[in-house]
Amino acid sequence: MKGIDYYWQRRKVVKRVVRNLGDWAVGEPFRAKGKRGEKVVIFVCQNVRARTFNIAYPLHARENVRTILLSTVFEYKFQKKAFDEIHIFFNYDELRRKVTKLAQRYEVVAVIGATEPIRQSRVLLDMERSWPVLIDQFDSYWSGTHFAGIDPQTDENYRHVLPEIEEEQYCFQKADGIIARSGELPLLFEELGLSIPTLLYEDGCNDIYFQPLGVPGRQREWSVVYPGIFYPMHLDPKIYGSAQLVPMGRLFAAEKIHFHLYPSPIHDYQYPEYKAEADRNPYFHLHPSVDFDRVQKEISQYDFGWYANDFLSYGFTSETYRRFAVSTKFCTYLEAGLPVISNGQHLRSVDVIRETGCGFLVEDNAPVGLAKVLERQNLEELRRGVERAREEMNVNRMGGKLLRFIESVTEG
């Protein structure tokens, strides 16, 4: 049970949730409902993010499929661009009732559940139904611990994820299909001899948010930006250390490079240590969080996107995870028109950078020595690389493939 301190630390998130519920209450009743018997794809995600948007949007906007979202926490003005209807549920009994009611009005082609928590997908799988249930894998504790060699039954640091792993094992094997975020999960199925229909759908870029591709001019001082999840310094560094960024402040200051931080809208903690560093360090900047559909424009004013944290310190990191992982953040930089600075710890980012030229690699100790590295970059070549990368990773090219996958599961 989450206590008062949990919500107090996240009070900005609570305020944002309330604001979005208000926007939903004012705007949603006036949106047109579909015709009875119309084919729909339903998405269920308690805390919906950009990935869900980028799966639904190509179906909604490019394949003319009616899409419906059931959620609890969401950015209403953002998500309504990808969904024809948005419904709220606050518990699993309500979720069952609302899915059942939608199925009475529409022809449900498929329902797509999610992980984090996987319980929301188990509710769908265990319903009496005539439609297939697919699961979109945002993250997987099952594959993460498996490839990291972690045994949650004996390791106290990870025992809390054991119930989630057990639910994943049940749900993934019972699902009619899996939409995999990376190649890690399909590899787990292969190793365990599991035959589960799976579509690899990596995080990608959405062309409706592409910003103009200008060439960064040589400013008096460079600026690097990092939007997304970062953690307060009082949390356990064994688990959260890869995104505890206050120590970066003095390193960027030594290079005379500005480091700009934007908290994730759904992980906007209280950051006393960050604020203290920003007050004393003119190169360390903590900004308010920005909506998912505005962050690309906001960060486009800077020179480079930062993708060079010490990811190896993350507990679930394994060679397999690093081989396949690609991040929404990486794609947000490309949407904003920013070249990416990577230390290569996520090998998938190395592949993209080398194939397209959308960024460059630095050593693990960066930003130490970063100023000299920036001086050597060909800015025009980087701009062209960003253009190539974001076109190749454009999710709106995936709509047809995703629809065919859903249809194959339905027919199978």
How far, in Å, CA of 47 to CA of 68, rounded?
Answer: 15
Residue 190's CB is within 10 A of a number of other CB atoms, namely 12
13 within some domain: no
Give yes or no: residues 140 and 175 share one domain: yes
Q: What percent of the chain is modeled with pLDDT above 90?
A: 85
Give yes or no: residues 163 and 222 share one domain: no
Give yes or no: residues 222 and 332 share one domain: yes
| Mean pLDDT calculated for residue range 129-152 | 94
CATH of the domain at 131: 3.40.50.2000
Q: In the chain, count of helices (H) and strands (E)? A: 19, 13
65 within some domain: yes
Give yes or no: residues 143 and 256 share one domain: no
How far, in Å, CA of 201 to CA of 180, rounded?
Answer: 6
Give yes or no: residues 170 and 237 share one domain: no
Which residues, 6+ apart, have CB-to-CB distance to 25 below 8 Å?
none
Q: Which two tokens stand for residue 209?
A: 């948010």
Per-residue model confidence as pLDDT tens digits over 26-82? 999 999 999 999 999 999 999 999 999 999 999 999 999 999 999 999 999 999 999
10 within some domain: no
DSSP structure string for 171-222: HHHHSSEEEESSTHHHHHHHHTT----EEE----B-GGGPPP-PPPP--SS-
- Total domains in the chain come to 2
The band of 333, judged by pLDDT with boundaries at 50, 70 and 90, is very high
Look at residue 216 in the predicted model and tell me its pLDDT: 56
User: Is the pLDDT assigned to residue 312 strictly greater than 90?
Assistant: no
Look at residue 311 in the predicted model and tell me its pLDDT: 81
Give yes or no: residues 76 and 155 share one domain: yes
Look at residue 71 in the predicted model and tell me its pLDDT: 98
Look at residue 219 in the predicted model and tell me its pLDDT: 59
The band of 363, judged by pLDDT with boundaries at 50, 70 and 90, is very high
Phi–psi pair at 261, nearest 5 degrees = -115, 135
Q: How many residues does the chain have?
A: 412
Strand ranges, E, within 72-166? 85-88, 107-114, 133-137
24 within some domain: no
Domain region containing 161: 36-204+395-411
Give yes or no: residues 361 and 399 share one domain: no
19 within some domain: no
Per-residue model confidence as pLDDT tens digits over 206-242? 999 999 987 555 557 999 999 999 999 999 888 888 8
- Residue of 250, 275, 241 lying closest to 261 (CA atoms): 275
Give yes or no: residues 199 and 319 share one domain: no
| Mean pLDDT calculated for residue range 89-97 | 98
Give yes or no: residues 328 and 185 share one domain: no
Give yes or no: residues 270 and 159 share one domain: no
Which residues, 6+ apart, have CB-to-CB distance to 86 below 8 Å?
24, 28, 68, 69, 70, 71, 74, 76, 79, 80
B/e letters for 342-377, b = 16+ CB within 10 Å, e = fewer, are: bbbbbbbbbebbeebbbbbbbeeebbeebeebbeeb
Q: Which two tokens stand for residue 265?
A: 């809208």
7 within some domain: no
Strand ranges, E, within 76-188? 85-88, 107-114, 133-137, 177-180
| Mean pLDDT calculated for residue range 120-127 | 98
Per-residue model confidence as pLDDT tens digits over 255-294? 999 999 999 998 899 999 999 999 999 999 999 999 999 9
Q: Which two tokens stand for residue 242?
A: 């890869």
Q: Which two tokens stand for residue 244?
A: 């505890």
385 within some domain: yes
- Residue of 395, 10, 325, 393 lying closest to 139 (CA atoms): 325
Q: What is the mean pLDDT of the chain?
A: 94
Give yes or no: residues 381 and 403 share one domain: no
Give yes or no: residues 238 and 358 share one domain: yes
Per-residue model confidence as pLDDT tens digits over 141-189? 999 999 999 999 998 888 989 999 999 999 999 999 999 999 999 999 9
Q: Which two tokens stand for residue 54?
A: 């980028």
338 within some domain: yes
